[in-house]
Amino acid sequence: MNQSPSNRPALNRRQLLKGMSASLGLLALRGFEVQAAAPAHFTHGVASGDPLSDRVILWTRLIPGNGEHSAINCQWQVARDSAFKQIVSSGMASTNSERDYTVKIDAAGLSPNSPYFYRFLSDDQLASPIGRTRTLPVGDIDQIRLGITSCSNYPQGYFNVYRHMAQTDIDLVLHLGDYIYEYAEGVYSNEVATNKLGRKVEPTNEILSLEDYRMRYGLYRTDEDLQLVHARHPFVCVWDDHELTNDSWKDGAENHSADEGDFQARMRSARQAYHEWMPIRTGSVGDQIDDQSAIFRSFKLGNLADLIMLDTRLHGRDRPLDYAKDLPMHSALFQLSASGEGRLISEEASVSVPTEQLKRITMPFDFTSGTPTPVKDYAVIKDLTAETLPRGWYYLPDSQRFKQQALVEPDRTILGADQEQWLDSQLQASSERGATWQVVGQQVLMGKLRLPVLTNEQLKIDQAEPYVRQILEMMQVLAPDQMPFNLDAWDGYAACRDRVFSSFAEHGTNPVVLAGDTHNAWAFNLADSNGQAVGVEVGTPGVSSPGLETYLPTDPAELGKAIQDVSAELFAVDTAQRGWSEMTLTPEAMTNQWHFVSTVLDRDFSVESGAVQYCKAGNKRFS
């Protein structure tokens, strides 16, 4: 017997979940909590991004309410008012399981430098949340305000930083990567966040497949603070490594092994999920979506600035150097006699000796007297290994050879040749059109950062975990030779950075580099090899991922001073707090201010703002 809608028995949440589990699948909910039966569900809020002067990308996610996989339609609307009485652009869209039920619209026909409201409506007029967005300006403008953020790790704590950004009057959010993290449950997490706050990851395994990446984005996008900042401000995003996998590069990653499958297949899945879930303008080839293409791109912020977004993580990056793998040890050349005895020989003298008579041996140092003394007796050292060294003997790194060879390898690139050329052309075009500022949004620190020289007492080395202690001990060995702090950043790609600095010097009116990745706050006066100022850099603190204070128990003020003492370009630093950067550009100056939240483990938090950093147009330095 047919029943009218009013006479049908109510479908409770348990029944609905059971039905979806049998057909559409619980995975398609992506962490969304079904509260009642409906023809459709908007599951993860709304977002906007990649604004231009006449258009903006709009995003939402809509799943069928009947639990059956099918295409589903919706209407989108852009209006000047929140009541949608002055609709200026609208249309229809369709989505399905092949797009993970995400909807992305390039809403055109908008006016420059204008605020708008937007929403989506399902066929039965179910409405999504209302979002606010803004188009980019044209011509002369007085100022533009940017919010800069990165490194939001769900199982490390609440996204209080996003809430504060949502409540702040800014024009555009720049997300510089690590929007999600790929790790399994219990890896790189905070026990308070996971056990008391319930911020556990889905899926529980490390994400490898397309389904895994989709689930992880879905989990993050259920966060109310992340939904709020997306609904309040348009975003311009680039990925860093954790949207992919830790310390990734074009052909591999630190956090990818052979038993995890083909690396490039994993990257294809990561790229696809990123384009599905982020409000980024995705390219196409013919009628097909191209979610595997490069994401470096640029935006004009009126006559005031050009925003140039780079991919320093995946597109053309060569394998990062690694101290554990690439740092050479001190070695010596021996000339072997016919009887197999060895005589120490200099590098200069070895040129005239047949190659078959030469043998290079890693040289151990005897520390038993308190002073490292090289051991040069061939008969004693020829068969030694790191495991069989006598007590008190060690192999010492050859820092000078590393700095003179590996660190300055001319062909190493963090961008790829095509992106290097594209960046140069973008800077040239910006200069020719008369833009005051060139804002370069990218992932990792460009400024030169050296290992600090600290004592055991300052490092509190006796309090460190064993694995951290090993890192600290290596740091102490390398620090006196002014070795780079982080080889995964631009310090590990010095020749490429020199080429970029040359482009800055030739075409940059006022370059401003932005970086994320480190979870801490940095400001640099960038200089070329001759000490000439080429621009400034701001590194934003992280949303929730822990910073240096987690690994180095040194007092933060003491640590910051020690890093500044050995890093000539470093203007300001905070090594202990989570937060974001607020940057204001005007024709006269750029200012940056860090905003720090008091906690990420409680929704009750306060905000403390740092000192304003000021760079006058034309100076290319903070003052």
- HEC profile for 379-403? HHHCCCCCCCCCCCEEECECHHHHH
Same-domain status, 382 and 522:
no
pLDDT tens, position by position, 597-621: 999 999 999 999 999 999 999 999 9
Domain of residue 13, CATH code: 2.60.40.380
- Give the single-character DSSP code of 109: S
383 and 457 assigned to the same domain: no
Phi, psi of 280 (to 5 degrees): -105, 145
Is the same domain home to 441 and 479? yes
- The domain boundary, picked from 135, 166, 181, lies at 135
Confidence (pLDDT) at 22:
64
Do both 25 and 59 map to the same domain? yes
Residues 334, 425: one domain? no
pLDDT at residue number 4? 36
Residues 496 and 548 in one domain: yes
Provide the pLDDT confidence category of residue 3 given band limits of 50, 70 and 90.
very low
Do residues 449 and 555 share a domain? yes
556 has pLDDT over 90: yes
Counting the structural domains of the chain, the total is 3
Mark whether 425 and 568 lie in a shared domain: yes
Assigned domain for 176 exists? no
Q: How far is CA 510 from CA 495, 536, 582, in A?
A: 22, 8, 18
Residue 117 backbone phi and psi in degrees, to 5: -110, 150
To the nearest 10°, the Cα dihedral for 66, 67, 71, 75?
A: 50
Where helices occur in 233-340 by DSSP H, the ranges are 263-277, 323-326
Which pLDDT score is estimated for 524?
98
| Residue 353 maps to a domain | yes
Per-residue pLDDT for 335 more than 50? yes
Strand order in the sheet with 358-362: 342-345, 331-336, 358-362
Q: 498: domain CATH number?
A: 3.60.21.70
For 381-388, what is the mean pLDDT?
94
Looking at the chain, the whole-number percentage of residues with pLDDT higher than 70 is 96
In a domain, residue 606? The reply is no
Same domain, 14 and 55: yes
Q: What is the pLDDT of residue 581?
A: 98
For residue 423, give every residue at least 6 positions away whose Cβ sits within 8 Å of its Cβ, in sequence order, or none: 296, 308, 310, 415, 440, 500, 503
Query: Does the pTM exceed 0.85?
Result: yes
Let me know whether 10 and 34 are in one domain: yes
pLDDT band with cut points at 50, 70 and 90 for residue 198: very high
Beta-bridge mates of residue 119: 77
Picking from 350, 373, 396, the residue at the C-terminal end of a domain is 396
pLDDT grade, residue 16 (50/70/90)?
low
Q: For residue 598, is it within any domain?
A: no
- Distance between CA atoms of 269 and 219, rounded to whole angstroms? 17
The answer, yes or no, to whether residue 19 has pLDDT greater than 80, is no
Q: Among 19-33, 38-52, 114-128, 244-258, whose mean pLDDT is lowest?
A: 19-33
- Please provide the average confidence, as pLDDT, over all residues in the chain: 94
> Is residue 134 a contact partner of residue 171, using CB atoms and an 8 Å limit?
yes
- And the tokens for 562? 């020690």
Q: What is the pLDDT of residues 147-176, one digit of tens each?
A: 999 999 999 999 999 999 999 999 999 999
**193 DSSP assignment:** I
Q: Is residue 255 part of a domain?
A: no
Q: What domain range includes position 27?
A: 1-135
Say if 273 falls within a structural domain. Answer: no
Sheet with 393-395, edge to edge strand ranges? 373-374, 364-366, 393-395
- Let me know whether 417 and 361 are in one domain: no
Mean pLDDT of 560-586: 97
Q: Is residue 621 part of a domain?
A: no
Q: Give 551's pLDDT tier (boundaries 50, 70, 90).
A: confident
Residue 194 located in a structural domain: no
Residue 10 scores a pLDDT above 60:
no
Mean pLDDT of all residues in 59-86: 95
Q: H helices of 376-493, where?
A: 378-381, 399-404, 417-433, 456-459, 466-478
Coil, strand or helix at 282: coil
* Last residue of one domain, picked from the residues 348, 364, 396: 396
What is the tens place of the pLDDT at every residue in 261-283?
999 999 999 999 999 999 999 99
Give the residue from 390, 389, 398, 396 showing the smallest Cα distance to 372: 396
Spatial CB neighbours of 333, under 8 Å, sequence gap ≥ 6? 344, 345, 346, 347, 350, 358, 359, 360
- Residues 568 and 479 both lie in one domain: yes
